[in-house]
Amino acid sequence: MEHAHELEKELTERDVGHKLVLPGRWLDEVHLKRAIEEGCREVHFGVLDNKGNYFPFCCSIRNRGYRNPVLQAEGWLKFVNYKGLEVGDKIIFRPQVDHFRETIFQVMAQRQNIHGHWVDI
């Protein structure tokens, strides 16, 4: 995790209704690139929100075609519903290792207020 980078993404309709599509460079962030080389197509990991709530996620890629990683619906949509996320909201993943809970990211959700400022939700 020494070289991990923050990921920020504005949510689309697909992101809030199905699964979160991530940029290809994120394969390295969740160690999926190494797993793919070893024949695995998914990695399970946990995240903590800004209130300390734990959410398990599964990041995977398809065997063929579209190679960008996605967070599968089961864990991701629980987070979406818990936070009440909508299209246009922003999600931020920050690297943060917590060996006790086996998490590797802090996740924050934000929405623009009437003044155009991003605020945590």
Question: 8: Cβ–Cβ under 8 A, 6 or more apart, which residues?
Answer: 90, 91, 92, 93
In a domain, 41, yes or no: yes
In a domain, 52, yes or no: yes
What digits encode the pLDDT tens for the residues 54-110? 999 988 887 766 678 889 899 999 999 999 999 999 999 888 766 665 657 889 999
Give residue 18's domain range: 7-120
Q: Give percent of the chain with pLDDT exceeding 70.
A: 80
How many structural domains comprise the chain? 1
In a domain, 61, yes or no: yes
More confident residue, 121 or 23: 121
Tell me the average pLDDT of the chain.
84
pLDDT-derived band at 3 (thresholds 50, 70, 90) equals very low
In a domain, 1, yes or no: no
Strands 7-10 and 90-98: antiparallel
pLDDT for res 2: 45
The CATH number assigned to the domain holding 27 equals 2.40.330.10
What digits encode the pLDDT tens for the residues 17-48? 999 998 877 767 666 667 767 777 888 888 88
Question: 1: Cβ–Cβ under 8 A, 6 or more apart, which residues?
Answer: 95, 97, 104
pTM value is 0.82
Mean pLDDT along residues 5-14: 90
